[in-house]
Amino acid sequence: MVTEVATLTALPGGEDELGRAIASGVPYLREHPDCLAATISRCVEEPGRFTVAVDWTSVEAHERGFRASPLFKQWIGSIAGKFDPATLDTRHYETYPA
């Protein structure tokens, strides 16, 4: 399992609009069979910044499976035009032993 963490920053004045758009699009993520969970967080210090954390069965399931599916187009369609693409940061993480 890997966790994709995507950070998105709203366009000026569109903080709540981006939050609603992300929330409306998360069901498309969750519908994919390789999505194990998906959560949204809003930054306290910068309310226009959001993270979407998605647990996938693998990086390949996310990048080759989900991104090639119609669900990806629906996900992107729900958030398009509501965030600054220059600030988008997407990374994959795995659990590190403590």
pLDDT tens-digit profile of 55-67? 999 999 999 999 9
> Would you say 11 and 21 are in contact if contact means Cβ atoms under 8 Å apart?
no
Instruction: Supply the mean pLDDT for the chain.
Output: 97
Which sign, positive or negative, has the C-alpha torsion 41, 84, 86, 1? positive
Question: Is the full-model pTM beyond 0.85?
Answer: yes
> Would you say 87 and 6 are in contact if contact means Cβ atoms under 8 Å apart?
no
Residues pairing with 3 in the sheet: 55, 93
What is the rounded CA–CA span in Å between residue 18 and residue 49? 9
What is the rounded CA–CA span in Å between residue 68 and residue 27? 17
